[in-house]
Amino acid sequence: MSDEIELMPEPGILIESLRDIGYSFESALADIVDNSITAHANDIQIYAVPIEDDDDPFKVAIIDNGEGLDRASLLQAMKLGSTNPREERTMEDLGRFGLGLKTASFSQCRKLTVVSRKDSVTSAFTWDLDVVVRENCWTVIERTDFGNIFAIDQLPEQGTLVLWEKVDRLTGQNGSGKVDYDRVVSDARGHLSLVFHRFLSGEPGLARIEMSLNGIALEPIDPFNTGNSATQASPEEVVCPGVTLRSFTLPHISAYDDKNEYDHFGLPGGYLRNQGVYLYRAKRLIIHGTWFGLTKKTALTQLTRVKIDIGNDRDEEWKIDVKKVSAQLPESVRKRLSNLIQTIGAPSRKVYRRRGTRLTDPNRYPVWTRAVNGDKTVYGINADHPILQAFRSELDLAEQHQFDAIVSLISSMLPTEALFYDIANDADAVSTRTMEDAEFISNTRVFFATLKQFQTEDEALATLRSMEPYSSQWSRTLNALGIEEQ
């Protein structure tokens, strides 16, 4: 015989431990938004504002026009572990553990109030962690002093308000810490715009959701830039039941008129960091910018992004965590993705190799040459370039030998290690020095005169327009030649 002994957790200790589950401010906000979407809200307003002349210097309110909860349902929702993660749920339900509302909130604040309005009845409860710790009891406070609840005047006739007070994880104990609120809000705006971009854009099969942060509407950030005609997309593939995959190759920087637009789709950290898998659970982004250890991130594949969609019935198989910010590939998907990686990355590699081929095409008079010698790829200065030859022809024999030695020395000193490091970190941030006006004019005129020795003027202009540095600076090139642009 053995006795069963019930061991109840210490409320004060457990509640403090739950605060360190690992949420960031923006991921905690996203977890609250999940509840609003599950409640079929189509308008979600978020306020994250410093309050001057207040004992509590920063408050966060998330307000939606969802279905709302009656008193009994709200009280149940305030309980830790309010739903069974193994229960079958509707396909649009973004929750799972019945912990998100509480753990996300507790990770950021010591006082959580939830107000919900349904059928013209308003109910409100507050978790105050200082009370829980002091009394060492799971004590939730029912509120009837509605007039004292921040932002309750913004709550619609039906919907829910989630209010964070004593936001100590940002401000420090008693609000003593200095916080760059503008940065915090900006990071949250970008995160929510990415995580919920499919809801914000109202893609087919999803009701469009309006979301604002401090009164400014959030615009969806599509990580696949599907609105750009230069984006390459593969057909959608069913990898296994309940899992679909589609790969995208984003446009090269040369396809954009505005570098700011190019950087926008690079996402924080840039293209190299954000290549890889974008995993969506019920159309909500869970994790992005990872190859799950299947391959390394390289500059040649930095334009490759893979969208994987799973339903909310796949949580255990994918080991989705309570924060909904990490996952693991099931073995069946891992094998398929591993087999596809070389094919998936090919278009991105092709974009860069095609541009590299153009830059070393002998028919385009490259300054640099590229030659494959066994297992080595050798780069060098093209001593036959017309500009170099024109300069060399004006030297005497001794000076020509000296010039050839200088060209050979420069060719042998290409900083390959530094280039490899810089390109691996951010290939598009590596650029060449821009020529001063006098240098540009001189080189352009010499090269054009050399071309005209064996080409017509129109042919020489066409050659210039097909190569750098002239093609990207065509107006400057014509001005150097004294030709009016047609």
332 and 413, same domain (yes or no): no
Q: What confidence tens digit (pLDDT) does each residue in 251-297 have?
A: 988 888 888 999 999 999 999 899 999 999 999 999 999 999 888 88
pLDDT of residue 2: 80
- Does 189 share its domain with 282? no
CATH number of 39's domain: 3.30.565.10
- Statement to judge: residues 469 and 401 lie in one domain: yes
171 and 51 in a single domain? The answer is yes
Q: Give CA–CA dist 139/129, Å, rounded.
A: 9
Q: What CA–CA distance (Å, rounded) separates 155 from 36?
A: 13
Contacts of residue 186, defined as CB under 8 A and 6 or more positions apart, other chains included, come to: none
The owner of tokens 């690079």 is 266
The rounded distance, in Å, linking the Cα atoms of 146 and 152 is: 7
Specify if 422 maps to a domain.
yes
Q: Report the SS3 class of residue 109.
A: coil
Q: Quote the pLDDT of residue 360.
A: 46
Pseudo-torsion of CA 274, 280, 285, 288, nearest 10°?
-20
The answer to whether 46 and 214 are in contact (CB under 8 A) is: yes
| φ/ψ bin of 132: left (φ > 0), alpha (ψ from -120 to 50), beta (otherwise) | alpha
Residue 236 and residue 211 share a domain:
no
Please tell me whether residues 204 and 58 are part of one structural domain.
yes
Question: What is residue 93's predicted lDDT score, i.e. its pLDDT?
Answer: 46
pLDDT digits (tens, 9 = 90+) for 10-28: 888 988 888 888 899 999 9
Range of the domain at 257: 232-357
Whether residue 259 lies inside any domain: the answer is yes
Q: Do both 392 and 409 map to the same domain? A: yes
Whether 75 and 107 share a structural domain: yes
Dihedral sign for Cα atoms in the order 173, 174, 178, 182: positive
Beta-carbon contacts of residue 207 (< 8 Å; ≥ 6 apart)? 40, 42, 199
pLDDT number for residue 88: 53
Is there a domain that residue 222 lies in? no
How many Å is the maximal CA-CA distance in the chain?
107
Which pLDDT belongs to residue 349? 57
Inter-helix orientation angle 181-195/25-38, to 10°: 40
Q: What is the C-alpha separation between 43 and 159, in angstroms, rounded?
A: 10
Residue 2 lies in a domain: no
Question: Which amino acid makes up residue 303?
Answer: L
Closest CA to 249 of 304, 328, 292, 210: 304
Residue type, 233: A
Among the candidates 185, 217, 249, a domain finishes at 217
192 and 270 part of one domain: no
pLDDT of residue 173: 58
- Last-in-domain residue among 357, 392, 408: 357
What are phi and psi for residue 438, nearest 5 degrees? -60, -40
Amino acid residing at 327: A
Q: Kindly state whether residue 72 falls inside one of the protein's structural domains.
A: yes
Residue ending a domain, choose from 194, 217, 240: 217
* 384 in the same domain as 339: no
Between CA 130 and CA 179 the distance in angstroms is 23
Domain assignment of residue 289, yes or no:
yes
* Same structural domain, 127 and 53: yes
Q: What is the pLDDT of residue 404?
A: 86
Distance of CA 146 to the CA centre of its chain: 39
Predicted local distance difference test score (pLDDT) of residue 308: 94
Asked whether residue 1 is domain-assigned, the answer is no
In a domain, 223, yes or no: no
- pLDDT at position 174, please? 53
Stretches where the chain sits below pLDDT 70 are: 1, 53-54, 82-98, 172-177, 344-364, 424, 454, 486
CATH number at residue 245: 3.30.230
For position 224, what pLDDT does the model report?
Answer: 97
Whole-angstrom CA distances from 398 to 404, 406, 408 are 10, 13, 16
**Same domain for 158 and 245:** no
Domains contained in the chain, number: 3
